[in-house]
Amino acid sequence: MSHLIDPSAGSHDRNLHVDMPKAAKTVEFRIPISPTQIFFSQVRFFNFALRRFSDRRYRDARLSITVGDGCDLDVVRRENRWSENFNINWERTPDDVFADFNWAGTAIWRFCTPATADVVVHCDADTVLLRDIDPLVDEFTSYAPTVKGHMAHFPPGLGANPIVPQPHSAEFWPALFRIFSLPWPAKTYRYSIDPDHRLPISPPYFNMGFVAMNPKALDILATEIWATMRGLTDAIGDSYFKCQIALTLAAHQTGCIVDVLPAEYNAANDLRHLNANKLTADKIRVLHFLRNDEIDRRELQPALIDDMLARKLVNPANIVWQDLVREYRNLN
């Protein structure tokens, strides 16, 4: 699909006005993984879905894969020779970062290399583009640091011996904001699986399966988010959700514009999520296939994929995913 941009810039030569077309915005994608066949198969599937769009915005987009666990990048590249045919960059998490933060270091190291596009999208490996994300990319501006994501499903879990109130308490987020000397945000939101409003309100707190930002936000968060991660340890313990919490706090600490995206940009294969957000499968732009009641992300591996394709599914989001996997399987 080609996209026409209304001209908004021009030049004057004497009394002649010539409209000049505005260049289409570019987008890059970044995914953190461990060096395992399970992750490699997910990355290959993500790449397949990305390149199937006719628009060069996606066919030529840079896909950066950050690999942790002290990996040998030469071995990683050899095991993924298929990637040589695409604009794919393999990045290694530095040893000291991984030693300090483990898998979370890999997740955050994505923020530490300069942007190569107008919009940088941070994804999980178990996400896939079902439709284009043109409305999101086109609406981004470059003048102010901006971060956009979809609200997490529920409040975050905590590690051992936290000093803040429990996350289901209305005092959890205010306590964290006080610890970091941050004013309470003007806008608050509901978690994305809270149709009955039983959970306390939250500042913008994103599921990291899909978070988009412009280069200005990437630049300032690359430094601030590490300090925030270290400052969180005493407050929340070794929480599995520390990266998501750190992003919320660092974005507010640095004065980023923070916008919440609708569920179509990070739709879980979870009927509760789809129903709570009144989202049908045909409207999903980015599917996050994290639930394993009908399917399992491990089933993208060659030895398992055919058994999965033979299975009859019920969840509409899983059925759409299965159809795309079948197309992928037929080409590979």
What pLDDT digit, counting tens, does each position of 249-265 carry? 999 999 999 999 999 99
157: number of CA atoms within 13 Å, CB side?
Answer: 5
Q: Is 7 contained in some domain?
A: no
Query: How would residue 138 be classed by pLDDT, with cut points 50, 70 and 90?
Result: very high
Distance in Å from the first CA to the final CA of the chain? 24
247 near 225, Cβ under 8 Å?
yes
What angle, 0 to 180 degrees and rounded to 10, lies between the N-to-C axes of helices 172-179 and 242-253? 60
- pLDDT at position 332 is 73
Q: Is 22 contained in some domain?
A: no
pLDDT tens profile 52-83: 999 999 999 999 999 999 999 999 999 999 99
Q: Is 136 contained in some domain?
A: yes
Residue 18 pLDDT > 90? no
List C-alpha distances in Å: 309 to 37, 289, 296, 305, 319: 19, 15, 12, 6, 10
Q: Is 183 contained in some domain?
A: yes
Domain count, the chain: 1
Query: How would residue 22 be classed by pLDDT, with cut points 50, 70 and 90?
Result: low
Q: Is 313 contained in some domain?
A: no
Burial pattern 73-97, b for ≥16 Cβ within 10 A else e, equals eeebeeebeebeebbbebbbbeeeb
Percent of the chain with pLDDT over 70: 93
Q: Is 65 contained in some domain?
A: yes
57: domain range? Answer: 27-267
**CATH number of the domain to which 145 belongs:** 3.90.550.10
Q: Is 87 contained in some domain?
A: yes
Q: Catalogue the E-assigned strands of 196-331.
A: 206-213, 257-260, 267-268, 286-288
Q: In this structure, what token pair is assigned to residue 11?
A: 């030049």
Backbone dihedral angles phi then psi of residue 206, each to the nearest 5 degrees: -100, 140
* pTM listed for this prediction: 0.91
pLDDT tens profile 163-190: 999 999 999 999 999 999 999 999 999 9
Q: Is 166 contained in some domain?
A: yes
